[in-house]
Amino acid sequence: MHIKGKVAIVTGGTGALGQAIARTLLEEEAKVCIFDIHADRGAEIESSLQSQFGGGNVSFWLCDVTDEKGFKEAFDSVVTRHGQVDIMVNNAAIVNERIDIDKMLLVNLGGTIRGSNLAIKHMRKDEGGAGGVVVNVSSIAGLEPHFQLPIYTATKTGITGFTRSWATNPYVKDLGLRFCLVCPTAFTSFIVPDPDFQVLYFDDMKKNHEKSGFEDPKDIAVSVIGLLEDDNSNGTIILTHAKEGNRKMKIEATDEST
């Protein structure tokens, strides 16, 4: 895919990683629509990016990914404004193991599924779409267990399974779709919740982070760009790591239905 001129939606776009992905897409001359629930911060980011990349190339949309109706309305509004959506990056996520457990399930897993389904319905060629790419942000916790974050791990494992299932759909090429996963380890963020609520064993998590290091969200965003540009990236999983480098895995789609 040539990213220039393509229309992209990035959920969780006011967070550190969402901002990095949005900015990197803008640097590739895409038109970027930032979805998030943080209205004030979204307006600030929109103004800042518009001054750098032009008002017609970036916009903020107040959107709660747990609200199915509101999510669809925001998505449809982007289509009305730009004519299409070519790239869907489902990045919205929260971490809180002690309170708002249902919300974490609804944001992390539910939001990713809703965003993917909206993109699939719009993009699929058999229903009049022009094709496109869905990039879902999972986590290292979506590939291996983390006892400090059992619920978060469950949501990210669900995202991994959902995305892999679509990627192995034998009709995915006919639909004109690609499905990819980015799985970061740990990265810096402007929002740092109370660690006593965020994880179950904070000291153990801290030791893990000290060992693995913190990734720069910009580096993770570069991996997203690589997936978008590679026309053969369907089913690709990139596990990003601050110190050990990135690891790429490929889940091949089948050629025949079963």
Residues recognised as catalytic: 152
Contact in structure between 225 and 233 (CB atoms under 8 Å): no
* Cα separation, 47 vs 59, whole angstroms: 9
Contact in structure between 123 and 131 (CB atoms under 8 Å): yes
Q: Is 150 helix (H, G, I), strand (E, B) or coil?
A: helix
β partners of residue 90: 136
Residue 23 CB neighbours (<10 A): 21
Contact in structure between 167 and 234 (CB atoms under 8 Å): yes
Q: What are phi and psi of 83, to 5 degrees?
A: 90, -20
Nearby residues of 47 by Cβ (< 8 Å), 6 or more positions away: none
* Cα separation, 111 vs 60, whole angstroms: 18
